[in-house]
Amino acid sequence: MPHEENHRSQSIGWLRAAVMGANDGIVSTASLIIGVAAAGASIGNILVAGMAGLVAGAMSMAAGEYVSVSSQADAEKADLEIEKESLKTNYELERVELAEIYEQRGLEPGLALEVARQLMDHDALAAHARDDIGISETSPARPLQAAISSAIAFTIGAALPLLAAWLSPQAQLLPAVAALSLLFLALLGAVAAKAGGAPVGRAAIRVTFWSALAMLLTAAVGSLFNVPV
């Protein structure tokens, strides 16, 4: 029976993206709600501002991820075209180049050259894409998937402080949104740290500290304009 190991690094990519999206949704929306509430806005205007922040933030995340991952995909495609052309004109030199990479990883020169030969005989472009360029077959760039995932993660995160604001009496809205948002963020940081094998307490404290600072700053800005909006 083959021995199988579950490595946390295999899932850290999607986990990091999901956590970042939800974290941004909570922090930005909670900070926006707190800032508007500190300015003396009515509950209706606070909720409108929070909803607008949710929609704008989700679309911003989606657009940013789509552009970023599309650029990555374009760069990977261009690199593969360059490598494909080089394999046509300098096949033996490309084999030597691949063998040198394996030598640097610890293989003896003769074995490195043999490994390079066998891999290139099987699929030369795939071997160079993986070991020379660093393009992994298991994690290709998918712009649309990245955009949708980021938007969903942000929306879920932003919905939490917005729901807290909707359910809280206006007199307790500001502390309720701040406390619940910080609780959500601490739990999110702890879950992400647990899944990634990192210290849970440190992750929770780190995300709570910076998020609390963001909320305090927006509350300070809102208090400077203490008029109904």
What pLDDT digit, counting tens, does each position of 76-131 carry? Answer: 888 888 888 888 888 888 888 888 889 888 888 888 888 888 988 888 888 888 88
Instruction: Determine the Cα–Cα distance for residues 58 and 162; give it in Å rounded to an integer.
Output: 14
Judge whether 178 and 35 are in contact, CB under 8 Å. no
DSSP letter (8 states) at residue 201: H
Q: Which two tokens stand for residue 114?
A: 């043999």
DSSP letter (8 states) at residue 130: I
Q: Which two tokens stand for residue 155?
A: 């929306």
Instruction: Determine the Cα–Cα distance for residues 171 and 152; give it in Å rounded to an integer.
Output: 31
Instruction: Determine the Cα–Cα distance for residues 147 and 34; give it in Å rounded to an integer.
Output: 28
Least confident of 85-99, 131-145, 193-207: 131-145
Whole-structure pTM value: 0.75
pLDDT number for residue 9: 47
What phi and psi values does residue 222 have, to the nearest 5 degrees? Answer: -65, -35
Instruction: Determine the Cα–Cα distance for residues 220 and 31; give it in Å rounded to an integer.
Output: 11
Name the H helices within 90-199.
91-104, 109-128, 143-167, 173-196
- Could you please report the per-residue DSSP string of 76-103? HHHHHHHHHHHHHH-HHHHHHHHHHHHH
